Amino acid sequence: MANYRIVYTNSSGNFAGEFTFDEYAFLAEEYLVLGYKGSPQYQDSPETYLYNFISSGLASTAGKLELYYYDELIDELCWGKITCAQQFPKFATSKSANSSILLLAEDENYYAEINPEAIIEIKPETPSPPSCAGVQITEIYSYYQEDSSEQFIELHNPTTADILLDYCRLNYKKKYFALDGILSPGQYLAFQDDDLLLTKNPTKDIVISILDADDNLVASASYGKKQKRGASYA
């Protein structure tokens, strides 16, 4: 019942209070009846099943109850001069006559017992594997044969645990490339991107790095001159 609330409008058409179910409230049976907190007959009832609107109970002449889920109107019920989708006549003044509007029989158990099968166990989330830590750069292929789309940077997980690549970034010169996914133990990954454009056969060493979410250096590798076309640096 989390995020459901009941709003009461009095006979003057003014807001007169609301009842909001807490995030751990469950409708474990077919019906749930809420009693007025100020009524003697409900003084020993659990607070969970009691409402406490501004006015003393519900007005007999006219009123409206609305059921909302977040801010969306789900259902409404009115009586007396206020009209809405479900309309009851004005409440009678005698107690016996009022019993006709009850939705439940007199011997119904108004206060639902918790059904164990309806309880949802909320388990803590499984912690994510460490981000980036342990990943290595094992191969760089920059001096392509035909087209720059052949270029790649190979990553490797030499550890015995999964490595989470989410929020890691690969840095080449002034370019940054986001990484994602999980690298399993012993797995290799060839990273390619149209914007990678590695310098082929450079005149000086070029460094490629991997940074974590806090921009800490996780791994790096460099490649230099005197390369051969079609041969990678490993």
Domains of the chain and CATH, by start: 4-118 (no CATH), 136-223 (2.60.40.1260)
Higher pLDDT among residues 32 and 55, named by residue: 32
Lowest model confidence (mean pLDDT) among 7-21, 42-56, 103-117, 206-220: 103-117
User: 40 by DSSP, 3-state: which?
Assistant: helix
**Do 165 and 184 meet the contact criterion of CB atoms below 8 Å apart?**
no
Predicted confidence band of residue 192 (pLDDT cuts 50, 70, 90): very high
Residue 115's pLDDT is what? 60
Closest CA to 57 of 90, 87, 101, 16: 16
CA distances in angstroms from 14 to 9, 62, 93, 188, listed in the order given: 5, 11, 22, 67
List the helix and strand counts (H, then E) for the chain: 1, 16
Q: What pTM was computed for the model?
A: 0.46
Q: What's the distance, CA 12 to chain centroid?
A: 40
Average pLDDT value for the chain: 81
The predicted-structure confidence for 34-69, as pLDDT tens digits, reads as follows: 877 777 777 777 776 777 777 667 887 888 999 998
Closest CA to 176 of 144, 215, 203: 215
CA distances in angstroms from 48 to 18, 41, 66, listed in the order given: 14, 15, 19
Pairing of the two strands 136-141 and 87-88: unpaired
Residue 190's pLDDT is what? 95
Question: Can you tell me the distance from the alpha carbon of 180 to that of 164, in angstroms, rounded to the nearest whole number?
Answer: 7
**Do 76 and 84 meet the contact criterion of CB atoms below 8 Å apart?**
yes
The predicted-structure confidence for 119-175, as pLDDT tens digits, reads as follows: 666 566 655 555 788 999 999 999 999 999 999 999 999 999 999 998 899 999 989
Is residue 114 over pLDDT 60? no
Question: Can you tell me the distance from the alpha carbon of 97 to that of 79, in angstroms, rounded to the nearest whole number?
Answer: 15
Lowest model confidence (mean pLDDT) among 57-61, 87-91, 95-99, 107-111: 107-111
